[in-house]
Amino acid sequence: MSLELPVVQAALSGYSDWPMRAMARKLGAPYTVAEVMIDSFVNSLKQRRRTSHFLMVTDDDHPAGAQLMGADPNEFPAAARKLAEAGFDVIDINFGCP
């Protein structure tokens, strides 16, 4: 992936939901990243209005990334697939302390 600017909007836990990423994009961010999400949380998400913003990616959002964190090898692959199927171009693995 090639970007015009050498900086990107970082994954900010509790802040980098779709409205914040849309605003960052509007202000010139060439690439935005969703907030860090735990694998089990991603797998538990259903298509509900209240939680739809976590997996929202629109045609104007590309390239867009999602940051994924987890420690369960049974949960992580399914969560990564769910994020990719939602339309995220990049799955950023957070190697911090789960």
Is-catalytic flag, 83?
no
Set 1, 5, 27, 97: catalytic member: 97
Number of H helices, E strands in the chain: 3, 3
DSSP 8-class letter at 7 = -
Beta-strand relationship, 64-69 and 90-93: parallel
Q: Are 25 and 62 in contact (CB under 8 A)?
A: no
Q: What is the side-by-side order of every strand in the sheet holding 32-38?
A: 32-38, 64-69, 90-93
Q: So which residues are the catalytic ones? A: 97
